[in-house]
Amino acid sequence: MADRHDLVRRLRLALAAIAYKLRHPRRRPGYVSVVVPVYNVEAFVGECLRSLQKQVYKRLEIVVVDDGSPDRSVDVVQGFMAEDKRIKLVRRENGGLSAARNTGVKHARGQYIAFLDSDDTVQPTCYSDAVKSLRESGSDFAVFSYRRLRNRSIVQPGPWILEAHSRRLQGVTLDEFPDILVNAVAWSKVYDRTFFDRAGLTFPEGVLYEDQPVSAAAYMAARTFDVLPDQLVNWRERDDGQSISQQTRDLRDVRERFAAAVTSLKILSPNPLAHRTRVAQLLTNDLRHSIVKIPNSDPEFFEAVRVGVRDVVSQVEGVEWDAVGATMKIALGLIESATREQVIRFIHADGLGLQTYRTTVSDGEVLLDPTTIDVLPGQVERWRTVLAPSETPLDRWVRRAWWAPDGSLHLVGWALLQNLEDPDQTIRISVSGPGGAVVDLDVEQGYDDEILVLRQHKHCTYPGSYFEATLPADRVPVTPGSWVFEVSVEARGIVRSRRFREVQDVVTNRQLHLRTLPGGRQAGLALSDDLDLQLDVVAPQPTVASLSLEGGTLAVRYTDDVPVSAARLAGRGGPVLQRGADGSFTADVSRWAKVPLDPDPAQAVTARFPLQAETEGGRRRARGQVGEDIQVLGVVGPFAVCCVTTAKNEVTIDLRQRVVVLETFDASDAGIAVSGVAHGVGAAPQMLLRRRGLASTSPAATASDGAFEGFIDLAPGRWGLPGALPGGFYPLRVLTDAADGSPVEVIPRFRRAYLDQLPFDRDPGLVRLRLTHSRAKNPEVVLRSFTSHVDRSRARQAQLRAGVGLRDLPIREDTVLFRTFYGENTTCVARGIHRELVRRGADLDLCWAVKDLSVPVPEGGRPVVVNSSEWYELMHTAKYLVDNVHQPDWFRTRPEQVFVETFHGYPFKQMGLPYWRQHGYSEPRIESFLERASDWRYVVSPATYATPLLREAFGYDGEMLEVGYPRNDIFFSPEAPALRADVRRRLGIAPDAKVVLYGPTYRDWLSSTEFVSQMVDYLDYDAFLEGLGPDTVLLLRGHAMNARHKNRAARRPGLIDVTDYPEINDLVLASDAAIVDYSSLRFDLGVAGIPMVFLVPDLERYKGDRGALMDYEPTAPGPLVSTTQECIEALSDLDRLKAEHAEQVATFKRDFLDLDDGRSGERVVDVVFGDAVPPSPGDPTQG
């Protein structure tokens, strides 16, 4: 029957395609044409095209339009074209985004058309979901939600987008759902091409924000459209400011932003409802993007914003203000009547943030208190302080949901009215079902301080927001159907009611586990198509009472609720079960021992047999007592025979070559202990946590009876150095060996009873730990820095930054607080100073600011986690502060504190004031840098040439310590040979190996954000290692910007990726030669006497893009090459390399390294610490 239905469906699609082809001979029926404009996206376009290749919907025509891109974007595209014939490239002169899109439309031949920016990506089901919906509804286009890519994180869109896409709507009109106008971007829609042409849609060229009027015109012209709740596009936020939608400070930009808004309103004006709705959206959401940039822009920009605001406000007609946010009403009033300086003070006081204000309730309205920020000029009109209904929404979510053994259903979570300050609230939860029936749950309210992190607010702590709700077994609905959960919150006379959405940390495949209740009926949590949480009640089903396996005989017993006349195991090789006199069903399954093993060692299931039962109603799938459970029944041959109940509570018998079932889990200071049952994982498996190259492996024990015990070390260290695992999400796996010795990762499974307890939280001391699972129910461990919820709250962080109660504490005369690279490591100049203090035996508390306890601290120091209470206290009280970047912008030193700025490299590239101004930093931001520089007591200069450059670039007129770089003292130390041998040992390098350090810097044009960049690919690692022979080891050291990028060099013999190694000078000591380019690492290598080759095929581009303070060539004492082969030739004879460039090296040291003599740290300590530490015990270069 299923095959017949599939045949009919295929026939209908074929006939529809033929009919479409006859009507539109130039179109390709069923195809989606995706237009991808390309301009200066070399770092992103590959990821964009890869996401298109991964689409479930394969009938794509990918039209890439090269808009005269000056970088290597086209080369990347052509690489993809060679492997995917669906991609075609159209080239044109640069004309802007609209022109490129219009060109793409002309070349598109699909039945549907969509647009995608080349720095964004799409989810795998993007176009399949859209086309499926359009085929079902016959609508003119489908519009879907999106999310943001910020640095390496996924960020939810604004609440207005979430709300607009909270329901799946098909065949809806603009009059029925005008709120969708808030989704006005080009790349969130799939259009029927016939409609697109009939509506005359075209992107206006030569302007910005061109997608807004096009979207408005599409909504107005459509007979109907579909609204999908799914987030299908990943919209990248770029720190380089190149993304059109993020260029919000430029004068032309702001004028065209407002012009696009006004144009859209004119298009919508024939529809009064749509016009009013869009005006409110613009005033509440869109105009904010330009307003927040006023402090970083000039007066002309402010005037442009003022004119634009007046143009939009002129469209308002009374009642529309009710839907506009309170802070925006205040801001718009200020922009119209106040001075620029007053507006800037308002923005700097976080006046646009609703979470800044205290709130009150009066006459049923929620009002913010404008005096909270104490910067507003004059009296604020009351109507401007009234919060819109959308600003006090009912926020609700379920953290856990489970069935208790007594048949009762339990929900745990939060429900609250946002931005309502500490109300005495009442929570009511119910389920409503067929015929209007309503069943109330028992609700107990309490408090959990995690809400302070989940909903950050300076004044609202949301007491009574935590709930534990119970649906007793005798109240579980009997009537089959879907019962929807609703929650109602009443606070201070304000009542909000909404449906519950998906269960946080628990939902999977829109179906949570079913439970068999007395009488045989099934009840379970599920998600509707709109992601609403509901209780599905199903009529009685044949239910398994017990399953067992003894001596090769499988026995099944059913409950008496639904009589079963016969039973079988479906699937190839599944036996028919024989009914016994006692009512049980049995089968001899010993022949399963001869089932061939799956050749793929990673395959979890070799064979699967769904359990079926014959009843009066026909053949049905057998159900279990509780869904999403797994139980090892026994062993047949090489297989564990497992009883598995799916999320739908359907029972299957699986043959698994390898299985691990977790039954207990606990955490302590030492690590994580687990136990359960295992099969096929060998005598010595290992527990494994791994994330982006970081791993913790620990032995696990498997007893002969299948009992399993494992332990995971949370502080495994790395590179032979101590340290905890850094924060993040870690999949939990069991590592074993296949028959051929290759490693195999087994995904453990939870028993249902344990799954119900998730998420499982522990604070073992090193980190804050949570055991949870992915949407596929795969175990995951989440590690976070060990800071309390209270400390992480917005209110507490604001207090700590302001130094409330801290700046009055006495200065800690014996404390030094070091920080390098924002706490990501403990290296650089500060490490050299630390080493000298330890050498002298200084009686000081040497504290290091670290992002978490994974960052190793040098001997004699102790870690302090950034943003913890202790760190803030030390910022305000430590006598000595040493940093290699600017201190945080909120921090000002106290008069008694000594701040030492070291920077982190020898000056060569453009820096400071010239760099900030060239790259468009705002004057207020530049003033902030200069103000912080005025707090520096000392600045460490690495060389004579560097001193005037640093003074000029950073506007610094204080005391300059022209002493060299203490970080390089180690190269002169008698300890250097022993350290070199130790580093090589820990890296697994033979004593006689030739070690080449490759340390390229990052390129701005390969940077995806201000802090993340893809590594250059100028060196062919395989060819290089083959060219220099098997005794060569290549140490790959990417820049910190590369370290944050997800793509790393693939593992291969002879190459060690040391990008994450904590101390660069260890690597210098371990090396015999180096390949570098523009990084200041070449100066440190020069101090250490390491011969260098300079791989700089992009020299001219780099100089033009980044700018330099001097000619490059004198700072590169070695051969300048462009290819891998030239590197091989230069490094094949190191003695010759040294001899040929000896004079060049000597000049380089004289001009740029004149102060590095191994005693720089000694000189810094003498000046900065003086009599507070013992005198130097002698020349540090002599031991």
Which H/E stretch holds residue 833? helix 828-839
Task: Of 464, 453, 449, give the one whose Cα is nearest residue 415.
Answer: 464
DSSP three-state, residue 705: coil
Residues 959 and 1045 both lie in one domain: no
**What pLDDT is attached to residue 605?**
85
User: Percentage of the chain with pLDDT > 70?
Assistant: 92
Residues 1084, 1156: Cα–Cα separation, whole Å: 10
Residues 918 and 1015 both lie in one domain: no
Token readout for 1178 is 């002698």
Q: Using 50, 70 and 90 to split pLDDT, how confident is the model at 1063?
A: very high
pLDDT digits (tens, 9 = 90+) for 1065-1108: 999 999 999 999 998 999 999 999 999 999 999 988 888 777 78
**What pLDDT is attached to residue 447?**
93
Q: Which of 968, 986, 1019 is where one domain is finished?
A: 968
pLDDT digits (tens, 9 = 90+) for 230-284: 899 999 876 544 444 444 447 888 888 899 999 999 999 999 999 999 999 999 8
Query: Which of 380-384, 420-424, 627-631 is predicted with the least confidence, judged by mean pLDDT?
Result: 627-631
The owner of tokens 């440190």 is: 1084
**What pLDDT is attached to residue 24?**
62
Is residue 753 in a domain? yes
> Mean per-residue pLDDT for 740-763?
80
Beta-carbon contacts of residue 1158 (< 8 Å; ≥ 6 apart): 968, 969, 971, 972, 973, 1180, 1181
Compute φ and ψ for 647, nearest 5 degrees: -60, -30
Residues 46, 268: Cα–Cα separation, whole Å: 38
Q: Give counts: helices (H), strands (E), the chain.
A: 34, 57
Residues 930 and 816 both lie in one domain: yes
CB atoms < 10 A from the CB of 910, how many?
Answer: 17
The larger pLDDT score, comparing residue 1165 to residue 775, is at 1165
Q: Which of 656, 687, 713 is where one domain is finished?
A: 656
Q: Is the peptide bond prior to 759 cis by the omega test (within 30 degrees of 0)?
A: yes
Is residue 221 in a domain? no
pLDDT digits (tens, 9 = 90+) for 80-121: 999 999 999 999 999 999 999 999 999 999 999 999 999 999
**What pLDDT is attached to residue 764?**
64
Per the CB < 8 A criterion, the answer to whether 716 and 707 are in contact is no
Token readout for 426 is 């009442």
Residues 826, 207: Cα–Cα separation, whole Å: 48
The larger pLDDT score, comparing residue 1179 to residue 91, is at 91
pLDDT digits (tens, 9 = 90+) for 883-916: 999 999 999 999 999 999 999 999 998 899 998 8
Looking at the chain, how many residues does it have?
1183
Is residue 597 in a domain? yes
Residues 468 and 426 both lie in one domain: yes
DSSP three-state, residue 685: coil
Residues 192, 213: Cα–Cα separation, whole Å: 18
DSSP three-state, residue 229: strand
Residues 651 and 681 both lie in one domain: no
The owner of tokens 């459970």 is: 629
Is the confidence at residue 19, as pLDDT, over 80?
no
Averaged confidence pLDDT in the chain: 88
Is residue 59 in a domain? no
Q: Which alpha helices (DSSP H) does 956-1028 contain, by range?
A: 976-987, 1021-1028
> Mean per-residue pLDDT for 305-320?
84
Per the CB < 8 A criterion, the answer to whether 848 and 805 are in contact is no
Is residue 190 in a domain? no
Residues 908 and 952 both lie in one domain: yes
**What pLDDT is attached to residue 505?**
45
Residues 652 and 664 both lie in one domain: no
Per the CB < 8 A criterion, the answer to whether 910 and 918 are in contact is yes
Query: Which of 401-410, 967-976, 979-988 is predicted with the least confidence, judged by mean pLDDT?
Result: 401-410
Residues 497 and 526 both lie in one domain: yes
- Cα–Cα distances in angstroms (integers) from residue 22 to residues 10, 15, 192, in the given order: 19, 11, 16
**What pLDDT is attached to residue 245?**
42
Token readout for 1017 is 């690919």
**What pLDDT is attached to residue 252?**
83
Is the confidence at residue 286, as pLDDT, over 90?
no
pLDDT digits (tens, 9 = 90+) for 499-517: 987 665 443 333 456 677 7
Residues 648 and 665 both lie in one domain: no
Residue 115's DSSP bridge partners are: 35
CB atoms < 10 A from the CB of 242, how many?
Answer: 13
In eight-state DSSP terms, residue 380 is: P
DSSP three-state, residue 754: helix
Is the confidence at residue 20, as pLDDT, over 60?
no
Residues 1181, 1168: Cα–Cα separation, whole Å: 21
Task: Of 1035, 1032, 1036, 1044, give the one whose Cα is nearest residue 1007.
Answer: 1044
**What pLDDT is attached to residue 1009?**
63
Q: Using 50, 70 and 90 to split pLDDT, how confident is the model at 1120?
A: very high
CB atoms < 10 A from the CB of 947, how many?
Answer: 17
Residues 328 and 465 both lie in one domain: no
Is the confidence at residue 413, as pLDDT, over 70?
yes
Is the confidence at residue 21, as pLDDT, over 70?
no
User: At residue 8, what is the residue type?
Assistant: V
Q: Which alpha helices (DSSP H) does 1051-1098 contain, by range?
A: 1064-1070, 1081-1088
Query: Which of 128-132, 435-439, 505-509 is predicted with the least confidence, judged by mean pLDDT?
Result: 505-509
**What pLDDT is attached to residue 507?**
38
pLDDT digits (tens, 9 = 90+) for 1001-1049: 888 777 666 667 778 889 999 999 999 999 999 999 988 666 666 666 6
Residue 585's DSSP bridge partners are: 556, 579
DSSP3 helix / strand / coil % (the chain, rounded to 5): 30, 30, 40
Number of domains in the chain: 6
Q: Using 50, 70 and 90 to split pLDDT, how confident is the model at 1?
A: very low
Query: Which of 134-148, 310-324, 422-436, 601-615 is predicted with the least confidence, judged by mean pLDDT?
Result: 310-324
Most confident residue range from 415-429, 599-613, 731-745, 983-997 = 983-997
Compute φ and ψ for 941, nearest 5 degrees: -105, 130
**What pLDDT is attached to residue 323?**
87
Is residue 139 in a domain? no
Q: Which of 537, 554, 573 is where one domain is finished?
A: 537
Beta-carbon contacts of residue 270 (< 8 Å; ≥ 6 apart): 220
Residues 427, 488: Cα–Cα separation, whole Å: 6
Domain that holds residue 428: 392-537
Q: Using 50, 70 and 90 to split pLDDT, how confident is the model at 4?
A: low
pLDDT digits (tens, 9 = 90+) for 333-367: 999 999 999 999 999 889 999 999 999 999 889 99
Per the CB < 8 A criterion, the answer to whether 69 and 41 are in contact is yes
CATH code of the domain in which 463 resides: 2.60.40.10
- Cα–Cα distances in angstroms (integers) from residue 368 to residues 342, 363, 393, 419, 650, in the given order: 19, 14, 15, 9, 53
**Can you say whether the dihedral through the CA atoms of 1165, 1168, 1173, 1175 is positive or negative?**
positive
**What pLDDT is attached to residue 512?**
53
Is the confidence at residue 521, as pLDDT, over 80?
no
Residues 1027 and 1123 both lie in one domain: yes
Is residue 610 in a domain? yes
CATH code of the domain in which 750 resides: 2.60.40
Token readout for 739 is 């028959």
pLDDT digits (tens, 9 = 90+) for 680-728: 888 788 888 877 666 777 777 777 778 888 888 888 888 888 888 888 8
Token readout for 873 is 């206290």
Is the confidence at residue 766, as pLDDT, over 70?
no
| Burial class of residue 1157 (count of CB atoms within 10 Å of its CB; 0-12, 13-18, 19+) | middle
Per the CB < 8 A criterion, the answer to whether 477 and 439 are in contact is yes
Query: Which of 325-329, 591-595, 952-956 is predicted with the least confidence, judged by mean pLDDT?
Result: 591-595
Residues 469, 1124: Cα–Cα separation, whole Å: 66
pTM > 0.85 = no
> Mean per-residue pLDDT for 395-411?
87
Is residue 172 in a domain? no
Compute φ and ψ for 168, nearest 5 degrees: -85, 120
**What pLDDT is attached to residue 419?**
93
User: Percentage of the chain with pLDDT > 90?
Assistant: 55
Residues 915 and 954 both lie in one domain: yes
| Complete DSSP assignment for 618-637 | EEEE-B-SBSSEEEEEEEET
Q: Which alpha helices (DSSP H) does 527-682 contain, by range?
A: none
